[in-house]
């Protein structure tokens, strides 16, 4: 079993805000075929689906962002899951808009949701997927609780979709492969991979010519 926790604040007044991208990524995953309806458990909304042989729990804590850890701790304890089976999806205002960053462990980095999860787990060793929401101006609180501008929405929608893909890679192939695929500049990685394949093909052609 894998546990995917999307962070955000409950209530319609927070829907669509920068702080709620974790909820939005979980909702994208929940929209897939075979996912159960969300129900209230563990101070959260919880759904699940089967991916291959793996049961995947989707959790949106309803405790408000700064108290997210209590809900996460309850789920881990109930299912007797180790922290290595936990992936937290959250916003990050230190990342450029739409950029993803996956980590296998690390500090909370000033994010209050991660701070509370760290306090309840007593550990920083759990996976997290951060979605960039852009740097704030003078007021960080207004920034994360504000909604995206119309010119930003396409980039955010694309980032959330990629984040949902990244979650499935994490479930199926683990955090190392997820980091390899989604950290850094995907376009540069694609070009590097294409160049590597071309070099390999050229070397094969050269070896074949030498054998003639």
pLDDT class for 188, splitting at 50, 70, 90?
low
* Residues 68-112: tens digit of each pLDDT: 999 999 999 999 999 999 999 999 988 999 999 999 999 998 899
Query: CA 172 from chain center: how many Å?
Result: 14
Segment 122-130 shows an average pLDDT of 95
pLDDT of residue 197: 61
DSSP states along 116-183: HHHHHHT-S-SEEEEEE----SS-HHHHHTSBPPGGGHHHHHHHHHHHHHHHHHHHHH-HHHHHHHHS
- Going by pLDDT thresholds of 50, 70 and 90, the confidence category of residue 205 is low
> What phi-psi label fits residue 11: left (phi over 0), alpha (psi between -120 and 50 degrees) or beta?
left
Does 3.40.50.1470 match the CATH number of domain 2-183?
A: yes
- Please give the order of strands across the beta sheet that includes 54-61: 39-41, 44-51, 54-61, 2-6, 86-92, 127-132, 100-103
Closest CA to 34 of 16, 58, 10, 4: 58
Q: Give me the catalytic one of 19, 45, 111, 143.
A: 19
CB 42 within 8 A of CB 78: yes
What's the rounded Cα separation, in Å, for the pair 15 and 26? 13
| Residue 210 pLDDT | 53
Q: CA-to-CA distance for 46 and 63, rounded, in angstroms?
A: 13
The reported pLDDT for the residue numbered 193 is: 55
Q: What is the pLDDT of residue 202?
A: 61
User: What band does 1 get if pLDDT is binned at 50, 70 and 90?
Assistant: very high
| Residue whose C-alpha is closest to residue 104's, from 82, 127, 88, 81 | 127
Report whether 72 contacts 86 (CB < 8 A).
yes
In the chain, what percentage of residues exceed pLDDT 70?
85
| Residue 108 annotated to the active site | no
Which residues does residue 55 pair with via DSSP β-bridges, in sequence order?
A: 50
Question: What does pTM read for this prediction?
Answer: 0.84
Is 13 a residue whose pLDDT tops 80? Answer: yes
């Amino acid at each position: 079993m894998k546990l995917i926790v999307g962070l955000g604040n409950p209530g319609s007044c927070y829907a669509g805000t920068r702080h709620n991208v974790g909820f939005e990524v979980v909702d994208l995953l929940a929209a897939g075929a075979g996912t159960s309806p969300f129900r209230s458990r563990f101070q959260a909304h919880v759904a699940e689906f089967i991916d291959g042989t793996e049961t995947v729990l989707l959790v949106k804590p309803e405790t408000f962002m700064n108290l997210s850890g209590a809900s996460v701790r309850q789920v881990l304890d109930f299912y007797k899951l180790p922290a290595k089976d936990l992936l937290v999806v959250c916003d990050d205002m230190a990342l450029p808009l739409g950029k993803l960053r996956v980590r296998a462990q690390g500090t909370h980095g000033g994010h209050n949701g991660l701070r509370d999860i760290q306090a309840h787990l007593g550990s920083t060793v759990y996976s997290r997927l951060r979605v960039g929401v852009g740097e704030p101006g003078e007021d960080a609180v207004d920034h994360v609780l504000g909604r995206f501008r119309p010119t930003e929405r396409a980039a955010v929608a694309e980032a959330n979709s990629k984040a949902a893909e990244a979650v499935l890679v994490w479930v199926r192939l683990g955090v190392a492969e997820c980091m390899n695929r989604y950290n850094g500049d995907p376009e540069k990685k694609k070009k590097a991979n294409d160049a590597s394949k071309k070099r390999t093909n050229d070397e094969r052609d050269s070896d074949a010519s030498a054998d003639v």
